[in-house]
Amino acid sequence: MLSIRDLSTSYGQIKAIRNLSLDVEEGKIVALIGANGAGKTTTMKTIAGLLTPDQGTITFLGQRVEGWKPHKLVSAGLSLVPEGRAILGQMTVLENLEMGAFQRNDQAGIKDDMEKMMNWFPILRERLSQLGGTMSGGQQQMLAIARALMSRPKLLLLDEPSMGLAPIVVSDIFRVIKQINQEGTTVLIVEQNVKQALKIADYGYVLEAGQIVYQGTGESLLTDEKVKEAYLGGRKHE
C-alpha cells in the first residue's frame, strides 16, 4: 500500500531523515520505533504532505505522492493523527468529528461512521456537546483518532498515540488500534511505548539518526537482543 524509497527530509541544514526506505503492506500494522530525535515524526509529516522531501519517492496505492498537499492525500485515503493530537479545542466533540468528514458528502455514510466512532469510543457519545479543549488527554486522543477515521482512510498514520497517557488509557488505545486494523484499515504507527507497539505490529522498523538500522516482524524485534537492550531495558525508554 505504501512504499518509500531513499527518502531524505531536512530542517534547514539539518538532515532529519536520510535515504529512508520502508514498506507498509495492505491490511497490516507497521511500527516505526526509535529514540527521541531519531526522525520518526519527520517521516510521518513527510508521508502526510506536511513536509516536502529533499529526495526520494513515496508511492501510495501505486501512485507517486511525494509533494502532494495534505488535503489531497486525505482524499486519496491517507490520514494522520499527529503527535500532540491537534484537536480543535474551541469546537465541540461533534464538530471535531464532522471536520474529519469535511471532504465527504455521503450524509448516510457519515452518520453510520459517526455511530461506529461512538461505539468504539463510548466516552465521545457522552461528550458530544463538550468543547474538545476541556477533555482529558486520553479523551482527546480518542477524539483525534475518531476524527481521522471519519475521512475513511485506507492508511491511518498514528504519531505517538500513547504519549502522556495513563497506562490504563494506553491499553484502551492499543486495543482500539488493533480493532481498527481488524476491520480493514492499514496502520503505520510511531510510538515511544516500544513494547506495546511491537506487540500489535506485524512488522517493525527501528530508526536511529534518521536511518533504518533494524527491521523485522514485530515478534522478532521484541526478542532481538539489540532492540531489547536499547528500547526494552530496565528503565522506561523515552
115-143 pLDDT, tens digit each: 888 888 888 888 888 898 888 888 888 89
The number of residues in the chain equals 238
The CATH number of whichever domain residue 195 belongs to comes to 3.40.50.300
Q: Which of the listed residues 127, 151, 175 is the one where a domain comes to its end?
A: 151
Least confident of 82-86, 222-226, 234-238: 234-238
Q: Are 136 and 158 in contact (CB under 8 A)?
A: no
Does residue 56 register a pLDDT over 60? yes
Does residue 167 register a pLDDT over 60? yes
The H or E element containing residue 172 is: helix 167-182
What gap in Å lies between CA 212 and CA 90, rounded to an integer? Answer: 39
Least confident of 100-104, 119-123, 196-200: 100-104
> Does residue 59 sit in the same domain as residue 96?
no
The residues near 181 (Cβ < 8 Å, ≥ 6 apart) are 27, 28, 29, 187, 200
> Does residue 216 sit in the same domain as residue 166?
yes
Does residue 236 register a pLDDT over 80? no
The H or E element containing residue 71 is: helix 70-76
The pLDDT value recorded for residue 135 is 86
Does residue 175 register a pLDDT over 80? yes
* Pairing relationship of beta strands 211-217 and 14-24 according to DSSP bridges: unpaired
The residues near 105 (Cβ < 8 Å, ≥ 6 apart) are none
> Does residue 161 sit in the same domain as residue 67?
yes
> Does residue 137 sit in the same domain as residue 171?
no
Q: What per-residue string of b and e applies to 26-47 under the rule 16 or more CB within 10 Å gives b?
A: eebbbbbbbbeebbbbbbbbbb
- pTM for this prediction: 0.89
The pLDDT value recorded for residue 85 is 65
The H or E element containing residue 9 is: strand 2-11
What gap in Å lies between CA 160 and CA 158, rounded to an integer? Answer: 6
| Residue bearing the bigger pLDDT, 148 or 238 | 148
What gap in Å lies between CA 81 and CA 70, rounded to an integer? Answer: 12
For the chain, the average pLDDT equals 89
> Does residue 4 sit in the same domain as residue 63?
yes
Instruction: Quick: pLDDT tens for 202-218.
Output: 999 999 999 999 999 99
Q: Total structural domains in the chain?
A: 2
Quote the domain boundaries for residue 93: 84-151
Q: What is the DSSP letter of 133?
A: G
> Does residue 67 sit in the same domain as residue 159?
yes
> Does residue 158 sit in the same domain as residue 217?
yes
Residue 217: CB atoms within 10 Å: 13
The pLDDT value recorded for residue 181 is 95
> Does residue 97 sit in the same domain as residue 171?
no
Does residue 72 register a pLDDT over 70? yes
Q: What is the DSSP letter of 59?
A: E
178 is written with which cell numbers?
A: 488493533
